[in-house]
Structure 1
Amino acid sequence: MSRPTEFVPGRPVVFRGGTVLPMDRARQVLTGTDVLVVDDRIAAVGPRLAVPDGTAEIDATDGIVMPGMIDTHRHMWQTAMRGYGADWTISQYFVWFYLEHGKNFRPEDVRAGNRLAAVEALDAGVTTVVDWSHGLQTVDHAEAAVDALRSVPGRFVLAYGNIQQAPAEWTSAPEFRDFARRHIDGDDLLGFQLAFDVTGDPAFPEKPAFEVARELGVAVTTHAGVWGATNDDGVRLMYENGFMTPETVYVHASTLSADSYHRIAATGGSISVSTESEQSAGQGYPTTWAVRSHNIPVSLSMDTSVWWSGDLFSAMRTTLGADRAREHLEAHARGETVTHCALRADQVVEWATRGGARALGREHDLGSLEVGKKADIVLLKNDRSPVSFPLLNPYGHVAFQAQRGDVHTVLVNGRVVKHEHRLLGVDLAAVRREAEHTVGHLRSALGEEEWLKGMNPDIPESKVLDNPYTYTDYRSASTHSR
C-alpha cells in the first residue's frame, strides 16, 4: 500500500480492486474495478488496468470508490461557531446573524470559518463546496474568504453576498466590481457566483443585482421558499423580469406553490435541498417529495455548522428519511400502505455527486467517474470498522451506513489530499488556533451573559418579520399563509 509520502505532483495514481460507483447515467456498480488517474484526469476505469511505470497504487479492496461529493450551499464563514445554535429556529438564526451579531465578524473571522469549513469538507469526502458567503460586509472580508479557500486544496465556488446591505447597493460598489474583475478569472478550483435573496417586494429592489450578475456572466444562488422570509412572490418577480436561468440555484424551496415549481422547471433551474436544516429550523418541509413530481434537478447541501454536521452522509440519510416519512404518512392518511419507496438510495447518492455538478454547470467534467473527467475521487474504506462489511448494496451503504470516519482517501483535481484517514499537508493545529481566536473575539464582543443567552435568544415581537432584511420595509402575510 502506498504511503502518503509517495504521493508527489504529476505521479499517476491507481485505485485497485474496489467496488466502483461511477455515477454514470446507468448508475452501475462495478466490482473488482480499478480507477487510474493521470495528471488531473481519470485516464481509465476497468478491471486489472495496465498502468504507467511508477504509478502509486491504493488498495481499494473491500472499499467503495465514488466521485467526490458536492455541497451546493454552505455558509462556510459561520463554521467557527460550530454547534452554537443547535437549538435555534430559523427566526433565532435571522436575529442573531442578520440583525444583531453577524456584523461583529471581522475579515479574520471569515477567514477562520472558511478555512475550518474547507478542511472539514475534504475530511468528509466533499471535494467541491459552494461557499454561500453572505457575511462579506466589506471587500476585505471577501479577500479573507478567498485567501482561506485558496489555502486549502479543495474545489470551491465563492458565492458573494452581504446580508448587511441591499443587493443593489453592494453589487454596484466600485470596490465590489474591482474584486469581481480580479477573481472571475476562470480558475478551475475557485468559481464565482452572486448570493442574495428576493423579498417579494413589488418594487423588486433586487433587480439591479440580477443585472450585475448578467453583466458579469455569473450565476445567482438564492434562498427561495423559506418560511418567514421568501416565497412565491420573489420567484414570480424573477420570472417576469427574465432572471430565471438554467444556472440559477434555488436553496430550500420548501414553501413554494406548484406555480413556482413550474417556473423553475420551465427555466431549467435546480434546487439545493438542505434536509437537516429544513426539518429542524423550520424553512418548510424538505421539498424532495414535491420537486420529484416536477422533474426539477436536485443537489444536496448542509447549510451551516452553526447547527448541523458538515458532511453529506447526513444529508443523504436525512433526505431519504424525510421523503419516505412523508410518503408513508400520506399513504396512511388515505388508508393505504406504501409497498415500494419512491425515493431510493442510488438517487440521493446521485444528488450528492452528479446532481451537484449539474447545478454548477460542471456535469461535463465533475460528478462521475468517467474517462476524461476531473479526478475528484473518494475511497470509502475502514478495515477497523465492523460496519464496513458485508458490502451488499453499495448505494445503500453510502447513504445509510457510511460516515466521515470511513473516508480513507480523497483526491481533488488528481491530487491526493487525504490518505489512510489522514489529511495531507493540513496544519490542523493552526486551523484550531484561528477558530479559537474568533470564538474569543465574539465572546468578548457580546459579553459573557449575551454569549450564553445567544444559544437560545429571545425573539422580540418586532423582529418576527416576513423577511429578515432591513433594506426594504415590505412586509407580506404571504409567507405565513400556507
Structure 2
Amino acid sequence: MIFFDEDDIYLSQLSGLAEAIHSGVTTVMDHSHAITTAGRAKQCIKATVESGIRSIYCAAPFSMPESLNPMAMGDTAAQHAKQIDIIKELAKEKPLGGSGNDGRLCLGLGFDTMYYIPQEIARDMLDFAVEHDMPLTVHDVPRYNLPALKHLRDKNLPTHKVTLSHTCDPAPEDIVFVKDKNIGIVSTPESEMAMSHGHPSGLQFFRSDCRAGLGIDSPAISSGDLFTQMRLALQEYRMRQNATYHHCGKLPDVVPARTDEVLYMATLGGARAIHMEDQIGSLEVGKFADITVIRIDSPSMIASVDYSTALVTHCSAADVNSVMVNGEWVKRNGELLKVNWNDLKGKLQMSRARLEKKWEGVDWDWSKDELKDAWYLRDVLE
C-alpha cells in the first residue's frame, strides 16, 4: 500500500468489480486489505456502490510495510488498532457508503489477523461483529500459517455468519465442525492449485451437506469468472477420483463428479456459503432480482442441447449477455451500464504507467525474500 494512493485504490476496485459483472457475477464477498487508512476504505466503498454489484465489503485489518529494500513493517499493533477503529466507524454508517447504496452493499469483517493479536482483542472484535450482524470471512490455509478452522475450534470463538476461504484437504473432524457450526466454505480452485494450498475441496464439503460454494481469489492472479472455477473444480475432483480406479487397473463406470453439482456451488451454493441463501442464489418469490442472462447462439454455445451442462463445460464470460442486480440492469446486451468502461480503461492505463515508473528501482527479489520471514514461511520453502 505504500505505492498506492486513494485514486489507485478506487480505480482498481472499480475495475475488478466491472470484470466481475462483465463475467456474470452478481455478488461478491470482498476480503479487502485496503483499509490502511479511512480514505482508502471510503474509496473502495465508493467504487463498489458505483459499480452496481451486490457486495459484502469485508474490511480487513492487515499489516503493511512502510518501506521496501529493506522491508520495514512499522508499529503493527498501532496499525491494527487504527484499522479496527476505522471498521467500527464504518459500522455506524446507515447505509454504508451513503444514500447511493440501496441495500446491495453491507459491511463485513475480514479477520486473518485474529491469529497474531492478543486474544482478548480478537475476541472483542469477533463479539463486535456478532453484535452488529457482520458476516466474517477468514482465509483457512494452514500451509501459509492461516489455520482459521483450527483456531476457531480450539479457542471456542464465535462462528456467527462465518465463511472460510479455501480449507483444502479437510480431515473428517473438520467437516463435522464446519457442518455443526453452520460455517460456509468458499473454494477457489484456480488459486488453490496455483498457490500450493492443497487439493480444492469444495465438492467434498458440498457432498457432506455443508454450506459450500465456489469463488475467485484475486483476479490479479486468477481468472475473474466462475465458469473457469466450475470447470477446474469439476475436473480436478474427477482426476483425483479417477486415480483411485487407475491404481486398481480400472476405469470408473460413471464420472465421479457431475456438472450440476458445481453449477449449484456457483449459484445457490455460493449464496449458502455467505449465508444469503434466503435472499439470492435462485429465482424465487421474495428473493432479490439478481439475474445473469447467457447467450445460446455464440460459437461456444450454439450446439448445446443440455444448457445446464453447457454452462459448466462450454460457457465463458464472452457469452454473458446481460446482468441484473437488485432489479437493475448493470450489463445489457454486452455493455456495462453503471461503469463507463472506455473512460475507466484509459485511467487504468495511465495509473499503471505511473505506478510502474514509481516502482523503478525496487529489488523485487529482495522483497520476496524478506516476505518469507514476514510470513513465517522460510522453514517450509525449498
TM-score category by the smaller chain? 0.7 to 0.9
| Amino acid across the alignment from 2:88 | R
Q: Out of 135, 158, 182, which is 1:219 matched to?
A: 135
- Are the counterparts in 1 of residues 183 and 211 from structure 2 also a CA contact under 8 Å? yes
Corresponding position of 1:282: 196
Q: If the length of structure 1 is used for normalisation, what is the TM-score?
A: 0.69
Deviation at residue 142 of structure 1 after TM alignment: 0.5
Is the aligned partner of 1:468 residue 2:379? no
Q: Out of 186, 204, 214, which is 1:272 matched to?
A: 186
Corresponding position of 1:169: 81
Corresponding position of 2:283: 369
Task: With a CA cutoff of 8 Å and minimum separation of 6, indicate the structure with the bigger relative contact order.
Answer: 1
| Amino acid across the alignment from 1:322 | E
Could you say what secondary structure the match of 2:257 adopts? coil
Q: Partners of 2:339 and 2:368 in 1: how far apart?
A: 40
Could you say what secondary structure the match of 2:26 adopts? strand
Corresponding position of 2:331: 418
* Cα deviation 1:406-438 (Å, max 9, x = unaligned): 111221111122222222243112211332243
Q: Partners of 1:262 and 1:111 in 2: how far apart?
A: 40
| Amino acid across the alignment from 1:225 | V
Q: Out of 292, 301, 304, which is 1:388 matched to?
A: 301
Q: Partners of 1:363 and 1:290 in 2: how far apart?
A: 20
Deviation at residue 246 of structure 1 after TM alignment: 5.2
CA RMSD of aligned residues (A): 2.8
| Amino acid across the alignment from 1:217 | D
1:246/1:294 CA distance change after superposition, 3 Å: farther
Q: Partners of 1:463 and 1:378 in 2: how far apart?
A: 40
Q: Partners of 1:327 and 1:457 in 2: how far apart?
A: 41
Corresponding position of 1:333: 247
| Amino acid across the alignment from 2:10 | R
Q: Partners of 1:322 and 1:276 in 2: how far apart?
A: 10
Could you say what secondary structure the match of 2:51 adopts? coil
In structure 2, runs of 5+ residues without a counterpart are 64-75
Q: Which of structures 1 and 2 has the bigger CA Rg?
A: 1
- Are the counterparts in 2 of residues 226 and 255 from structure 1 also a CA contact under 8 Å? no
1:332/1:393 CA distance change after superposition, 3 Å: same
Is the aligned partner of 1:180 residue 2:91? yes
Q: Could you tell me the percent identity over the aligned residues?
A: 24
Is the aligned partner of 1:446 residue 2:373? no
Q: Out of 229, 246, 251, which is 1:315 matched to?
A: 229
Q: Partners of 2:102 and 2:142 in 1: how far apart?
A: 32
Between Structure 1 and Structure 2, the one with more strand by share is 1
In structure 1, runs of 5+ residues without a counterpart are 1-101, 470-474
Deviation at residue 457 of structure 1 after TM alignment: 7.4
Deviation at residue 395 of structure 1 after TM alignment: 1.7
Deviation at residue 223 of structure 1 after TM alignment: 0.1
* Cα deviation 1:349-399 (Å, max 9, x = unaligned): 11111112212322122111123322111111153x332222222221000
How many aligned positions are there? Answer: 363
Q: Partners of 1:291 and 1:329 in 2: how far apart?
A: 20
Q: Out of 123, 128, 132, which is 2:22 matched to?
A: 123
Corresponding position of 2:72: none
Q: Out of 189, 200, 203, which is 2:104 matched to?
A: 189
Deviation at residue 117 of structure 1 after TM alignment: 1.2
Deviation at residue 159 of structure 1 after TM alignment: 0.8
Q: Partners of 2:110 and 2:125 in 1: how far apart?
A: 10
Deviation at residue 338 of structure 1 after TM alignment: 2.0
Q: If the length of structure 2 is used for normalisation, what is the TM-score?
A: 0.85
Q: Partners of 2:231 and 2:245 in 1: how far apart?
A: 21
Q: Out of 20, 24, 36, which is 1:137 matched to?
A: 36
Q: Partners of 1:306 and 1:377 in 2: how far apart?
A: 25
